[in-house]
Amino acid sequence: MKQTVSPGAAFHALISGRVQGVGFRYTCYHEAGRLGLSGWVRNCPDGDVEIRAEGDREKLEAFLQWLQRGPPGARVDTVKYDMVRAAGTYKAFAIER
């Protein structure tokens, strides 16, 4: 699913595969921070990882590229995402429990 990200945009994503128990949230947190994005990442009860990210268009696109691979040890099967309106309420990127 290829979509264009607009400036000041945001996306909501669900990542499936072997993405829990492999440090996905932790490395996702660091990658989003490195890119200067805000939002959150959390595990879902069904084994997926859910992400909300906001920021600069090019940096969001780079983050989506990273999500296709994930950290070493992960196996990303699918990345489903929707572009959403940026809330502008997130000051940083956080790991939610």
Q: How many CB atoms lie within 10 A of CB 25?
A: 22
User: pLDDT > 70: what percent of the chain?
Assistant: 93
Distance CA 30, CA 36 (A): 10
Q: What is the pLDDT of residue 21?
A: 95
Active site residue 75: no
Active site residue 43: yes
29, two tokens? 């947190």
57, two tokens? 């268009």
Q: What is the pLDDT of residues 46-67, one digit of tens each?
A: 999 999 999 998 999 999 999 9
Distance CA 19, CA 43 (A): 9
Q: Which of 25, 42, 75, 97 is catalytic?
A: 25
Distance CA 89, CA 61 (A): 20
pLDDT higher than 70, residue 3: no
Report if pTM > 0.85. Answer: yes
User: What fold characterizes domain 20-95?
Assistant: Alpha-Beta Plaits (3.30.70)
Cα torsion angle, 4, 31, 15, 70, sign: positive
| For the chain, domain boundaries | 20-95
Q: Which of 43, 57, 69, 97 is catalytic?
A: 43
